[in-house]
Copies of this chain bind each other. A is one copy, B any other.
Amino acid sequence: MTTVVVPAETRPGERRVALVPESVGRLTALGVDVHIQAGAGLGANALDAAYSDAGATVVDGDIFAGADVVLSVNSLDADRVAALAPGTTVVSFLAPSASLDKVKAAQDAGITWLSMELVPRISRAQSMDALSSQGLVAGYRCALVAAERLPKFFPMLMTAAGTVKPAKVVVLGAGVAGLQAIATAKRLGAVVQAYDVRAAAADEIRSMGAKFIELDLESLEGAGGYAREMTEDRSQRQRDLLTPYITAADAVITTAAVPGRQAPMLVTRQMVETMAPGSVVVDLAAETGGNVEGSVAGEEVMIGHASVWGGLNVPSQMPVAASRLYSANLAAISELFLKEGAVVLDFDDEILDGSCVVHGGQVRFAPAREAIEGSG
């Protein structure tokens, strides 16, 4: 029988788990055995007992022995991949262009690797869209982090001891995470203004009840609803135009990203320095280069009088919610390639085709293939 294994995550600080007990049933219903490494769910408050109750086997020894499918949040190490049996299918996040060693290892070992980042954003694939689900968690958390760190109130309050003005929050980048950050900050009562380069973003931002920052700049639309990278000139003009908004803000939350690229630098050190004492900046993109100059992933640094919080693996900071959603994404994609208890990869299916990085010794993801071929 096909065995699906869920190893404990090895990335430092990772508290998520690829499969939560609630989703085990969806996999066993596909006719597979589910093995979970003992203690894998602890960070997400999922006890081993809950897994056994749900029908999974809790494994204390080598979880990868006899694995047909490996489900994971983060990508496996190159060594780990190399040691897998040929034909094993791995499903996880895998920034393929930035992890050529792992792709190479998988290619050499004859491993199939489905990358969750590469699931195409078509309607049918929305239930497998882990970027959205984790972005949702990250956006919510960003807003809470900003609220908790600001030495002031978010909401307006008129009291006997005077009127407390509402906090001004500026959100840059209104994708999934940005919109959720807007929603959360608005709920808490902040006055929220937001900016994004996509043309549809203005309406989307307003539909959250926030104010769209109208800049005298053309919009930038890439493929698949994503943004395009900016030219340096536009980038500079955007920063200049945004500066007054940043200066006036109590809190700035940045979530801008361009797929496959470094995060755009939207806020310079000087811009942060114009902010008032006690201001807070939350940079969700710190890990991928940062939207804010000088932000450090996983740390809180002072720039001028403002405290800049750099996000590091932010979804993992809300492990229960993030794991549940990710786990549902994995279950949904598993239902695509596990047919009658066996792994069947039908590359006519746009989703499997799009998300498969490497299969049967072939690198299918073009940018990675080109990079590997180019380098070697």
Q: Which residues of A contact B (CB under 8 A)?
A: 15, 44-45, 47, 126-127, 129-130, 132-133, 136-137, 140, 144-145, 147-148, 150-153, 155, 157, 159-162, 164, 184, 187-189, 276-278, 305, 318-321, 324-326, 328-329, 332
User: Is there an interface contact between B152 and A321, defined as CB atoms closer than 8 Å?
Assistant: yes
Q: A326 to B44, alpha carbons, bound, how many Å?
A: 41
User: Is there an interface contact between B45 and A305, defined as CB atoms closer than 8 Å?
Assistant: yes
Kindly list chain B residues whose C-beta atoms are within 8 Å of the C-beta of A144: 144, 147-148
A276 and B45 in contact (CB under 8 A), knowing A126-B160, A319-B151?
A: yes
Query: Min CB distance, A57 to chain B, in Å?
Result: 21
User: Is there an interface contact between B318 and A152, defined as CB atoms closer than 8 Å?
Assistant: yes
Q: How many copies does the complex hold?
A: 2
A278 and B320 in contact (CB under 8 A), knowing A147-B144, A151-B44, A189-B187?
A: yes
Q: A127 to B162, alpha carbons, bound, how many Å?
A: 8
Query: Which one, B15, B136, B159, contacts A133 given CB within 8 A?
Result: B159
Query: Min CB distance, A217 to chain B, in Å?
Result: 32
Q: Top 3 A-B pairs ranked by shortest CB distance?
A: A45-B278, A45-B277, A151-B320
A162 and B324 in contact (CB under 8 A), knowing A148-B148, A151-B45, A187-B188?
A: yes
User: Is there an interface contact between B145 and A47, defined as CB atoms closer than 8 Å?
Assistant: no
A162 and B328 in contact (CB under 8 A), knowing A151-B321, A318-B151, A320-B151?
A: yes
27 A-B contacts (beta carbon < 8 Å): A15-B151, A44-B151, A47-B277, A126-B160, A129-B160, A130-B161, A133-B159, A133-B160, A133-B161, A137-B153, A140-B155, A144-B144, A144-B148, A145-B148, A151-B318, A151-B319, A159-B325, A161-B325, A161-B328, A161-B329, A161-B332, A162-B324, A162-B328, A187-B188, A187-B189, A188-B188, A278-B320
Query: Which one, B129, B136, B153, B332, contacts A157 given CB within 8 A?
Result: B136
Kindly list chain B residues whose C-beta atoms are within 8 Å of the C-beta of A147: 144
Best-buried of A136, A153, A305 by chain B (most CB within 10 Å): A153
Q: A126 to B157, alpha carbons, bound, how many Å?
A: 15
Query: Min CB distance, A154 to chain B, in Å?
Result: 8
Kindly list chain B residues whose C-beta atoms are within 8 Å of the C-beta of A320: 151-152, 278
Kindly list chain B residues whose C-beta atoms are within 8 Å of the C-beta of A329: 161
Kindly list chain B residues whose C-beta atoms are within 8 Å of the C-beta of A305: 45
Q: A184 to B144, alpha carbons, bound, how many Å?
A: 12
Extra contacts, 7 of them, besides A45-B276, A151-B320 (Cβ < 8 A), are A127-B161, A136-B159, A140-B155, A144-B144, A159-B325, A162-B324, A164-B325
Kindly list chain B residues whose C-beta atoms are within 8 Å of the C-beta of A47: 277
Kindly list chain B residues whose C-beta atoms are within 8 Å of the C-beta of A130: 161
Using CB atoms, name the residue of chain B closest to A320. B151
Q: A152 to B144, alpha carbons, bound, how many Å?
A: 12
Query: Min CB distance, A144 to chain B, in Å?
Result: 5
Kindly list chain B residues whose C-beta atoms are within 8 Å of the C-beta of A278: 45, 320
Q: A276 to B184, alpha carbons, bound, how many Å?
A: 25
Query: Min CB distance, A334 to chain B, in Å?
Result: 13
User: Is there an interface contact between B321 and A164, defined as CB atoms closer than 8 Å?
Assistant: yes
Q: A133 to B161, alpha carbons, bound, how many Å?
A: 7
Q: A352 to B152, alpha carbons, bound, how many Å?
A: 30
Q: A164 to B320, alpha carbons, bound, how many Å?
A: 10
Best-buried of A129, A137, A189, A320 by chain B (most CB within 10 Å): A320
Kindly list chain B residues whose C-beta atoms are within 8 Å of the C-beta of A157: 136
Using CB atoms, name the residue of chain B closest to A23. B162
